[in-house]
Amino acid sequence: MSVRFDVITLFPELFAPFQTVGVTRRAFESKAVDVRLWQLRDHAEGVYRRVDDRPFGGGPGMVMLVEPLVRALAAIRADQVSTGAPKLPVIMFSPAGKPLTQARVQALSQSPGAVLLCGRYEGVDQRFIDAHVDEEVSMGDYVLSGGELPALALIDAVTRLQPGVLHDAASHEQDSFSDGLLDCPHYSRPEVLTLPDGESVGVPPVLMSGHHAQIARWRREQQLAITARRRPDLIEAARSRGELSKQDEHFLSNLGL
């Protein structure tokens, strides 16, 4: 089963380079992830193909018009029917949406996909949102110029979870947030690094020991320590889900945080 993303955007050219570089390109080439771009202006009327207008009630900025969006979505629905694809949910990127999480990404990676609405200007006419948007997603507590970068981020996050995309299928299982915590530190060659001031910095000895159980415990404790210091909210969430062992709790209690 492939994952399909229909992207409504004013700037489809932003997506083309993204699909031809990096390990994720394999998923696009094989159509394991099928990205279809829909230029919103193609569904606007008039000489200028206008897709926005001033907001009622006054105020700064412009608002994306309902009618071009409705026509674009209708074209997408018709294409989904003609290709045998299911009716996909509409996701809009908005600061008012729920923060995108790894759990949501994992769910999307196992779904048929979604229609991604990349907003621009001051916002989207609320009547379109009320009638057609199934989910609003936020990338964080900040504002971007449009939804294209969030759409690219979501597509990338979903794509890297597809079978055969990463060289090691288990790589994403150790990513930050995959188990609710931040990832542990990683080390590679050289075993001893000489800094410009002459100081030598080695790899933690446990990683060179070959003792798999001790290495696994070290990594778990590093995860716990980093998460507790930087994202204590994730520790509390893991605790509420019953995902911390007695050994984990003992280690955390000795951190002195």
Options 34, 175, 179, 183, the catalytic residue = 175
Return all residues near 161 (Cβ < 8 A) that are at least 6 apart.
Answer: 105, 106, 109, 172
29 catalytic per annotation = no
95 catalytic per annotation = yes
Options 4, 12, 68, 160, the catalytic residue = 160
3-state secondary structure of 94: strand
134 catalytic per annotation = no
C-alpha distances in Å from residue 150, one per residue of 95, 129, 153: 11, 18, 5
Owner of token pair 């009622």: 56
CA distance 237 to 221: 17
Burial of 104 (0-12, 13-18, 19+ CB in 10 A): middle
Owner of token pair 């060659």: 189
CA distance 238 to 121: 38
Options 95, 99, 185, 232, the catalytic residue = 95
Options 34, 79, 122, 136, the catalytic residue = 122
Task: Take residue 164 and report the two structure tokens written for it.
Answer: 């055969």
Measured in degrees and rounded to the nearest 5, phi and psi for residue 61 equal 80, 180
CA distance 11 to 40: 9
Judge whether 6 and 38 are in contact, CB under 8 Å.
yes
Known catalytic residues are: 95, 122, 160, 175
